[in-house]
Amino acid sequence: MTLFTVPEVVARTEGYVGRLTLNRPKALHALTEGMCLAISSALLAWRDDPAVVLVLIDHAGERGFCAGGDIRMMAEAGRSDPDAGAAFFLAEYRMDELLQRYPKPVVAVMDGVTMGGGVGLSAYAKYRIATERTLWAMPETGIGLFPDIGSGWLLSRLPGEIGTWLALTGARLKAADLLHLNLATHYVESARVEALKALLVQAPEGAAKALARFSDDPGPAPLAGKQKALDAYFEHGAVEAILAALKAGSSWAQEQAEVLASKSPTAMKVALRELRLAREKPNFADEIALEYRLACRIIATPDFQEGVRAVVVDKDNAPRWSPARLEDVTEAMLDGLFAPFEDREEWSPL
């Protein structure tokens, strides 16, 4: 039975499985407000339905799971319609928070590009499937944004300072590292994914056994053994100190310093403060509420507009950040981005 369908999402039940299929392949299934609302509506309908015992999230086509939110739309909203930007983030973050506390098992198939909003759709599922095509990242500092979708909570709870490294650099991970960090629970070759999904629909109560049957070894994790070095470089409380440590370090560390030099100074400072604060947050919803404030404000900043221009519109990959230097991003500027709203309602869960 098909229900709650918009053109970009197909939500239906198959047997005892609620299926959500992202259906915007030309945009790598980038999320819109309507897609988030449709997904949330289906999840709420299935939450207390005894005929649904498992939820399966996948995508149509072969071009990737979900490349994130529709940043062109966000940039336009930041320029001319802040209410539209706020409406998108409200819908997306409510969807993410609902998934994080969802009472039924969710299977997310991260076959292909899984970034930004795609991480939000998958990271809180009970079962997270990676394939040899999975490419996972939170690349927001490269477009003047910050790691959102609850990733302050998610990344700050990874071992040591790996989350800080991922947040600041936007580093891309593949299947072996995702399993190493428990960002994926299973590795399945892409050629076997359709057969696995068919078995899940046929016998959803046996999901754990089915996943074990189809799982394979993705090989050694490149990050294994790098924990101590990552911690030493990224444990500092200021981006300037992290950058100085990297510049004085190994050849790998100096490569990371070059990566940071290409990112938005404001976005990196926001991301670092976000992760440090998230360690003390008592629950996921509190983290999402903070990220909602940040998102509503930061899409109107010059850096986000410039990042979208450089990466998405003109594609020259030569953003001109403002401020251009880390030392010119003041604590007062950050305080303004993190402060409670005075002119807008705070985020609230479904």
Determine whether 148 is an active site residue. Answer: yes
Determine whether 206 is an active site residue. Answer: no
Active-site option among 111, 140, 177, 303:
140
Q: At 95, is the secondary structure helix, strand, or coil?
A: helix
Active-site option among 69, 78, 112, 307:
69
Helix (H) or strand (E) holding 258: helix 251-261
Nearest to 112 by CA among 126, 98, 96, 130: 130
Whether the Cβ atoms of residue 227 and residue 159 lie closer than 8 Å to each other: yes
Tokens 């709420």: give the residue.
44
Number of other residues whose CB lies within 10 A of the CB of residue 332:
7
By residue count, the chain amounts to 350
Contacts of 19 (CB under 8 A, 6+ apart): 10, 11, 12, 13, 55, 56, 58, 201
Contacts of 314 (CB under 8 A, 6+ apart): none
Supply the DSSP string of 288-313, one letter for each residue. Answer: HHHHHHHHHHHTTSHHHHHHHIIIII
Active-site option among 33, 148, 287, 303:
148
Active-site option among 18, 64, 78, 117:
117
CA angle 146, 151, 152 (to 5 degrees): 75
Determine whether 140 is an active site residue. Answer: yes
Residues labelled as active-site residues: 69, 117, 140, 148
